[in-house]
Amino acid sequence: MKRISLFLAVIFCATLASAAFADDVKPMKIGVVDLTRVFKEYKKTQVMESQLETLSKSKQVEREKLVSEIKDLKDELALMSEEARNQKREAFEEKLKGLSQFDQETKEKLVSQREQALDGLLKEIEAAVSAYSKKNAYDLILSDRAILYRIDSADISTDVIAILNQKSS
C-alpha cells in the first residue's frame, strides 16, 4: 500500500513538474470529497440504517423468545426428578445449541446485508462524484482522508450530497 501511495505521489509530482515548464499550461482543477459526511447525509444511507435497525430489532425479539423458552425449560428441569431431568436435558441442550446457532447466523446475516448495502451506496457515490467531476471539468478528486490541507472551496461534498439526494427523491 505504501509503495502504491509513493508511486502515485511520484507520478503526481512529475506531472506537476512537467506542467510547470510548459508555456500553455492551465492550472489543474482539484476537488475534495468528505466521504464520511456524504455517507452520513445521503438519504439512502439513513433509509438503509433504518431498515437494518428494524431487522435487528425483529431478530432480537426472536432471540428473546428463544431465551424465554430456554429459561422455562431450565426451571422445569430444576423441579424434575433425576430420571425425568436426564430425559429433558437433551432437549435443553438442543435449545442452547439452537440459540447459539441463531445468534451466529443472525450476526452473519446482518453484517453481510450491511456490507452489501454499503457497497451499493459507495458505487452510487462514486458515480455521482465522477459525473459531477466531468460536468464541472475537474482534473482530480481526492478523498479528504488522503490530504493534509485543502481550501474550503475545493470541497465538493455539498454538491455531491445534493445530487445524490435529488436522485433518490
Grouping H, G, I as helix, E, B as strand and the rest as coil, residue 32 is: strand
- Provide the domain limits for residue 66: 2-168
Report the domain count for the chain: 1
User: pLDDT tens-digit profile of 112-167?
Assistant: 999 999 999 999 999 999 999 999 999 999 988 888 888 888 889 999 999 999 98
Q: How distant is the alpha carbon of residue 90 from its chain centre? A: 41
Using a cut of 0.75, tell me whether the model's pTM lies above it.
Answer: no
Pick from 165, 169, 150, 167: nearest CA to 33: 150
pLDDT digits (tens, 9 = 90+) for 5-27: 555 555 665 565 565 555 567 88
137: left (phi over 0), alpha (psi -120 to 50) or beta: left
